[in-house]
Structure 1
Amino acid sequence: MLEFAVVTLASLFAGFVDAIVGGGGLILIPAMFGVFPNAAPATLFGTNKGAAVWGTAWATVQFARRVEMVWSALLPAAAAALAGSALGAWTVTMVPPTGLRKALPFILLAVFVYTLVKKDMGREHRRRFSGRTEAAVASLIGFVIGFYDGFFGPGTGSFFVFLFVRLLGYDFLHASASAKLLNTATNFSALLLFIAKGHIWWHFALVMAVANVVGSLLGTRLALKHGAGFVRVIFMAVVGALILKTGYDALKL
């Protein structure tokens, strides 16, 4: 019961953070490794995806009711993200992500500094493209970050948000809403792989999924209430935490 309580609370908080700007895995995965230190990592990752996919899907629905979603661009992007995630998952079976793991803290630091310097970036929603061009750029983002998610994964939601802001001209609220759809696709793709390999604890995943959805509901409401400026602050906090976490992991290699 103690194990259930810890991972359920972690899943709720992860859903809360993930709904605002992504990065829920930063909370839930370390919690699961702490509670189950002897479990197979693939099983913990699979169980995490079994919970997280419901939270991101629920956040997508909630955002879609209140925020303009450019479905003509986002649906192709979600399909590209799903394909990229599957390809990334296959690639990691052939090539270990050691080099990327070492480089990731510096990539995240560049994202953090750029966002910090560009104080007005993402505060106003000014779409740079429309029609097929917007769909093509969004699909490229979906495929590249989807591949990254399948290949390695930390910070996927934050990368989606940053690129939607930087390349498509979305504000942080619209970028976060759009990122949820793509993150749902990548989570679903990874989940199918873990299910096929038998790497999921359903008795934990189902309970954690409920908690993740509750956290997602709370996070979504907070983001919608306080707008792009609030999402930007949470984005900076999550990326900062990711820099510390991935930097520590890289030093252990």
Structure 2
Amino acid sequence: MPLIISVSMIVVAVLSIANRNAGVEPVERIPSRIAEIFAYIATFILGIYGGFFSGGYITLLTAAYIMLFRMTFVQAIATTKFINIFSSLSATLIFMTQGVINYKLGAILGLTMFIGGIIGGSISLSLSNLWLQRIYLSVVSLLAFITLRKSLQSNESN
């Protein structure tokens, strides 16, 4: 799975670089019906993956919304944050029923993430879409490299 995610992130980075204006400037054209369908399918598949691992699925979902729904970076980030609530809540409820959550640690880390989210959301709103694109591409490239390296190392040890 890490290999698939890292390759997907590399593809996202390449497509984002190839289409430099995607997500930077608002697009007046309405996405095609096929693009919308693919966006819904991507949301469903990445929701399943997010229930398993969480790692990287919002990053890929952000890219899908920029490319398929023709959103700006701010719109895509805001939308994925909102829908992440539902994905996380449903997975959390399943894990709660199985009794595998460390509630004390979860509360501490949840509060930390809440504060980080406030800071990150405020920063996102103060930056231009161009800067958000640059930061996004840097983070996606770094995460893809790290994930790919770890995936290749674990394959070598097996």
Whole-angstrom CA distance in 2 between matches of 1:101 and 1:211: 26
Secondary structure of the corresponding residue to residue 161 of structure 1: helix
Identity across the alignment (%):
23
1:233/1:188 Cα in 2 relative to 1: closer, same or farther (>3 Å)? same
1:202 maps to: 103
Does 2:31 align with 1:154?
no
Q: C-alpha separation between the residues in 1 aligned to 2:148 and 2:30?
A: 35
The unaligned stretches of length 5 or more in structure 1 are 1-99
The one-letter amino acid paired with 2:110 is A
Query: Is residue 149–residue 156 contact of structure 1 (8 Å, CA) maintained in 2?
Result: yes
Q: What residue in structure 2 maps to residue 21 of structure 1?
A: none
In the superposition, the TM-score normalised over structure 1's length comes to: 0.55
How far has the Cα of 1:140 moved from its partner? 2.7
1:102 offset after TM fit, Å?
A: 2.6
Deviation at 1:137?
Answer: 5.4
- Number of paired residues? 153
Q: Once the 2 structures are TM-superposed, how far is the Cα of residue 139 of structure 1 from its aligned partner?
A: 3.1
TM-score, normalised to structure 2, is 0.85
C-alpha separation between the residues in 2 aligned to 1:159 and 1:234? 14
Indicate the RMSD between aligned Cα atoms, in angstroms: 2.2
Which whole-Å CA distance do the structure 2 matches of 1:249 and 1:127 have between them? 41
Q: How far 1:127 sits from its partner (Å)?
A: 5.7
The one-letter amino acid paired with 2:66 is V
Kindly provide the CA deviation profile for residues 136-189 of structure 1, in whole angstroms up to 9, marking residues without a partner as x.
555333212112222443211111110000001111111111111122211112
- Which amino acid in structure 2 is aligned with residue 237 of structure 1? S
Equivalent-residue separation in structure 1 for 2:87 and 2:10 (angstroms): 24
- Runs of 4+ aligned residues of structure 1 deviating over 4 Å after TM superposition are 132-138
Rounded to whole Å, the distance in 1 between the matches of 2:34 and 2:18 is 28
Tell me: CA distance 1:129–1:141, structure 2 relative to 1, closer, same or farther (3 Å).
Answer: farther
Please tell me whether the aligned partners of residues 35 and 68 of structure 2 are also in contact (alpha carbons under 8 angstroms).
no
